Structure 1
Amino acid sequence: MRFAWAYRDFVLSSILTEQRVRFAGSKLGGLWMLLHPLLEVSMYALILSSLMGSRLKGLSGPFSYAIYLTAGSVAWSLFSEIINRCLGVFTANAHLLKKISFPAMCLPLIISGSALVSNLLLLAAVTVIFGLVGHLPSLKMLVLPLLILATVAFALGLGLILGTLNVFMRDIGQIMPVVLQFAFWFTPIVYTIEVIPEPYRWIYQFNPMFQIVSAYQAVLVFHRMPALPGVLAVLLSGVVLIMLAMLLYRRARPEIVDML
């Protein structure tokens, strides 16, 4: 990752520029980064709170389901944004990749950094909202940096592999949003794991985002330590995927430029 340090100023300035340009001309500006996910959560909460609220063990109150839903959504939004944007990281920047001197591997870092900035602002807003409705933060939130790191590493590694393959098989870019939608419902975000019949719950252990989302919910909702072995397994998987992605890109770079 020496190239990342060598081009750190370029990456940081690109992240800041992207944040400024993203909502240029909008009267609400960066507030849309918070409003979009919060409005989506509000819609789910309005529809499902009466059905799912009573199933939350260890949490009660009129906002219990909304708190549970929001905690999982914060984790998922970071993961899904990185994946979706990495899918087109090379196809959308073909004009830059054809410049030999351009540090192409900085592109996924810019994407991840921009998504991370947006997610941290969302997390800060969510923490304030939780406090206003009486659900105060706890010291367990100190483990959140580890959860965020695991999410970013796994999403970046997987997204970069998919983005590289998408150059050669454009159907990947079309099918992945459908796969992500399926994965969203396969992760206990809008429902609790308790609604799944016990004989089938073991299947969820094979979903890496189950480990991450459950950890976010443990910290933000139930104020307890998450299952760290599962989180560390996702982090390690992310590191391995990043290494594989970089190897795949290096070997495929000449063909990528030709295909673009």
Structure 2
Amino acid sequence: MANQKRKKIILAIVWAIAAAALVIMLLHNNPLDDPHTQLIKKIWSCVLISGGVVMFTLLYDRVALLAADLYSNRRLIWRLSKNDFRKRYAGSYLGVVWSLVPPLVTVLMYYVVFGLIFKSGRQAISGTIDVPYVLYLTAGLVPWFFFSDALPGGTTSLLEYEYLVKKVVFKVSILPMIKVNAAVFTHIGFTAILLVVSMLYGYLPSVYWLQLVYYTACEYIFVLALVYATSAIVVFFRDLQQIIAILLQVGMWATPILWNISVISSRKRPLFKLNPMAYIVEGYRSSIYGREWFWSHFYSSTYFWVVTVLLFVIGAAIFKKLKPQFADVM
């Protein structure tokens, strides 16, 4: 009885938020935006919001069950996440320092190729504002490294912890989160390096830096939504690991990391912004040196969260559907 009452309250809140978002969407106008483009954005945003809230309502029970499992096992998740991170570098002399070495080498390599050999120079971000290429590059690579670490790790979490999956009493649903949490530890260290690089180039700490917490949370939830689907599917379709590796290679070039999204024509730019990682990457950059709040990008923020919630609902449904067969297949 209490669960049904809680369900009604939560769904009422979700529908109220969706209704408010639709009203704001219809009333919102950007005088600098093309009217035709703005109309298309409004139509698609309304479709996504409406579809998202309907799907959430239909699949509420599966999402609620997953959320309850994660909350009730939060201490175990924290303990296993730390152990997972430590065991990656167990026995090595430098230990967890190795988690930062490959990303730093990658940044250096791209800087030498694009910054020194091809002379990319300073990158214009808006109007007359430009930033050093190495800072521009690092701000884009930091969130991507987290994504490219957490997604494959979360995808193979059930395979890696096969012995736990076969235990009847163990909550298998916490395993994907453990791998994503382990990737967060590396991300925190690399974000600290980004802030140091920013200060070396004269971009001193500001209140906008607090947005890094928001964008990290955005990426965390987005990756978590993906890995609940991929970790369940890969148990039955092992080739998914290789497919994800290829998609990550393509995705890095399809995301404005090494290149500036402003070089794309205004008509084609919305297509690239359909990539949720473009929102994250641009958000990191605007937090470090852009001096922009995330709510100033109204359509992008709305689109990102609607897509992320949809992916999470779908991921939770797939995981719950396939979960009873995990132990038999492994």
TM-score for both structures, normalised by structure 1: 0.91
- Number of the residue aligned with 2:78: 12
Q: Is 1:101 the counterpart of 2:169 in the alignment?
A: yes
Q: How much has 1:116 moved relative to structure 2?
A: 1.3
| 1:59 match: secondary structure | strand
Which of these residues, 77, 81, 93, is aligned with residue 149 of structure 2? 81
- Number of the residue aligned with 1:71: 139
Distance in 2, matches of 1:111 and 1:85, equals: 6
- Number of the residue aligned with 1:234: 304
CA contact (8 A) 2:256 2:278 kept: yes
Q: Is 1:147 the counterpart of 2:218 in the alignment?
A: no
| 2:269 match: secondary structure | helix
- Number of the residue aligned with 2:323: 253
Q: How much has 1:195 moved relative to structure 2?
A: 2.9
Runs in 1 of length 4+ with deviation above 6 angstroms? none
Distance in 1, matches of 2:267 and 2:304, equals: 24
Say which one has the larger Rg: 2
- Is the deviation greater in 71-80 or in 189-198? 189-198
Q: Is 1:174 the counterpart of 2:238 in the alignment?
A: no
Distance in 1, matches of 2:107 and 2:269, equals: 25
What one-letter code is carried by the residue in structure 1 that aligns with 2:321? R
Percent identity over the alignment is 28
Distance in 1, matches of 2:306 and 2:177, equals: 18
Q: Is 1:133 the counterpart of 2:201 in the alignment?
A: yes
Q: Is 1:194 the counterpart of 2:262 in the alignment?
A: yes
Distance in 2, matches of 1:190 and 1:91, equals: 33
Any stretches of 5+ residues in structure 2 without a counterpart? Answer: 1-66
Any stretches of 5+ residues in structure 1 without a counterpart? Answer: none
- Number of the residue aligned with 1:34: 100
Q: How much has 1:87 moved relative to structure 2?
A: 1.8
Q: Is 1:21 the counterpart of 2:87 in the alignment?
A: yes
Alignment RMSD, CA only? 1.8
Q: Is 1:2 the counterpart of 2:72 in the alignment?
A: no
- Number of the residue aligned with 2:184: 116
CA contact (8 A) 1:151 1:235 kept: no
- Is the deviation greater in 105-114 or in 190-199? 190-199
What one-letter code is carried by the residue in structure 1 that aligns with 2:153? R
Q: How much has 1:197 moved relative to structure 2?
A: 4.1
CA contact (8 A) 1:219 1:225 kept: yes
TM-score for both structures, normalised by structure 2: 0.73
| 1:56 match: secondary structure | strand
Task: Count the aligned residue pairs.
Answer: 257
CA contact (8 A) 1:59 1:222 kept: no
Distance in 1, matches of 2:298 and 2:205, equals: 19
CA contact (8 A) 1:150 1:232 kept: no
What one-letter code is carried by the residue in structure 1 that aligns with 2:114? L
